[in-house]
Structure 1
Amino acid sequence: MSVPQYPAPQYAAVVGGGTMGAGIAHVLLAAGASVTIAEGDDALVEAARDRVGASLRKAEDRGKLPDGVTAAALVDRLSFCTDLSSLHADTELLVEAVPERLELKRQVFAAAATACPAAVLASNTSSLSIGAIAEGLPGERVIGMHFFNPVPVQKLVELVLHDGVSPEVVAKARGWAEALGKTVIEVRDAPGFATSRLGIAVGMEAIRMVEEGVASAEDIDTGMMLGYGWPMGPLRLTDQVGLDVRLSIAEHLAAELGPRFTPPNLLREKVERGELGRKTGRGFYDWE
Structure 2
Amino acid sequence: MVAATGRPVVGVDHDPDVIARVERRLKGQDLDATGEPASCALTTDITALAHVGVVVEAVTDDLAAKRDVLRRLRQVCPPDTAFVTTASSLPLFPLATASGCPDRIAGLRLLRPPATGRRAEVVRTSLTSDEAVEVAERLATAIGLESVVLGHHASDSAARLVHPYLNRAAAMVAEGFASPRDIDTAMRLGCGLPSGPLELIDELGVDEVHSCLQSHWNRTGDEAFRPVPLLTSMLRRGTLGRKTGQGFHGYDEQGLPSEQSPVEQGRVDSPSPGRRIRHVGVYGSGTMARGIAEVCATSGLRVTLVARSTDKAQSTAMAIEASLVKAVRRGRITPTGKEEAVAALAAVDDVSALADCDLVIEAVAEDLDIKRGVFAQLGAVRRPGAILATTTSSLSVAACTAPAGCPGETLGLHFFNPAPVMKLVELVRTPDTADDVMDAGRAFCAGLGKVSVTCPDRAGFIVNRLLFPYLTDAVRLLDDPAVDVGALDTAVERGFGYPMGPFTLLDAIGLDVSLAILERLHAEFPGAGCEPPAVLRELVGGGYLGRKAGRGLRRA
TM-score range, shorter chain: 0.7 to 0.9
Matches within 5 A, 1:123-202: 123-136=390-403, 137-202=405-470
CA contact (8 A) 2:281 2:360 kept: yes
* Structure 1 match to 2:358: 92
Equivalent residue for 1:222, pick from 490, 494, 511: 490
Q: Secondary structure at the match of 2:336?
A: coil
CA contact (8 A) 1:8 1:180 kept: no
- Report the residue type matching 2:522 in the other structure: A
Task: State the shift of 1:218 in Å.
Answer: 4.1
Equivalent residue for 1:121, pick from 356, 380, 388: 388
Distance 1:58 1:281, change over 3 A: farther
Separation in 1 of the partners of 2:471 and 2:321? 32
Separation in 1 of the partners of 2:318 and 2:555? 25
Task: State the shift of 1:264 in Å.
Answer: 2.0
CA contact (8 A) 2:271 2:439 kept: yes
CA contact (8 A) 1:7 1:179 kept: no
Task: State the shift of 1:63 in Å.
Answer: 0.7
Structure 1: state its 5+ residue gaps.
none
Separation in 2 of the partners of 1:171 and 1:202? 32
Post-superposition Cα deviations, 1:208-266, rounded to whole Å, max 9, x if no partner, equal 33565554544433333332232333333333333322211110111111152111233
CA contact (8 A) 2:328 2:335 kept: no
Q: Within the alignment, does 1:266 sit opposite 2:532 as a pair?
A: no
Task: State the shift of 1:47 in Å.
Answer: 4.7
Post-superposition Cα deviations, 1:176-196, rounded to whole Å, max 9, x if no partner, equal 001111111111112221111
Separation in 2 of the partners of 1:122 and 1:15? 10
- Report the residue type matching 1:184 in the other structure: S
Q: Secondary structure at the match of 1:91?
A: coil
Q: Within the alignment, does 1:79 sit opposite 2:346 as a pair?
A: yes
Q: Within the alignment, does 1:48 sit opposite 2:320 as a pair?
A: no
- Report the residue type matching 1:119 in the other structure: A
Distance 1:253 1:177, change over 3 A: same
* Structure 2 match to 1:107: 373
CA contact (8 A) 2:304 2:347 kept: yes
- Report the residue type matching 2:533 in the other structure: P
Post-superposition Cα deviations, 1:68-117, rounded to whole Å, max 9, x if no partner, equal 534344223222223323x2322112111212222221221121122222
Equivalent residue for 2:282, pick from 6, 9, 14: 14
Distance 1:36 1:234, change over 3 A: farther
Matches within 5 A, 1:53-72: 53-65=321-333, 67=334, 69-72=336-339
CA contact (8 A) 2:459 2:465 kept: yes
- Deviating above 6 A after TM superposition, structure 1's stretches of 4 or more consecutive aligned residues are none
Task: State the shift of 1:52 in Å.
Answer: 2.2
Task: State the shift of 1:14 in Å.
Answer: 1.6
Higher relative contact order at CA 8 Å, sep ≥6: structure 1 or structure 2? 1
* Structure 2 match to 1:204: 472
Q: Which moved more, 1:175-184 or 1:259-268?
A: 259-268
Q: Secondary structure at the match of 2:277?
A: coil
CA contact (8 A) 2:386 2:409 kept: yes
Task: State the shift of 1:172 in Å.
Answer: 0.6
Identical aligned residues as a percent: 37
Distance 1:222 1:106, change over 3 A: same
| Structure showing greater Rg | 2
Q: Which moved more, 1:228-237 or 1:104-113?
A: 228-237
Distance 1:209 1:165, change over 3 A: same
- Report the residue type matching 2:382 in the other structure: C
Q: Which moved more, 1:132-141 or 1:197-206?
A: 132-141
Q: Within the alignment, does 1:243 sit opposite 2:511 as a pair?
A: yes
- Report the residue type matching 1:153 in the other structure: V
Q: Secondary structure at the match of 2:354?
A: coil
TM-score by length of 1: 0.86
Q: Which moved more, 1:235-244 or 1:114-123?
A: 235-244
- Report the residue type matching 2:377 in the other structure: A
CA contact (8 A) 1:8 1:33 kept: no
Supply the RMSD in Å over aligned alpha carbons: 2.7
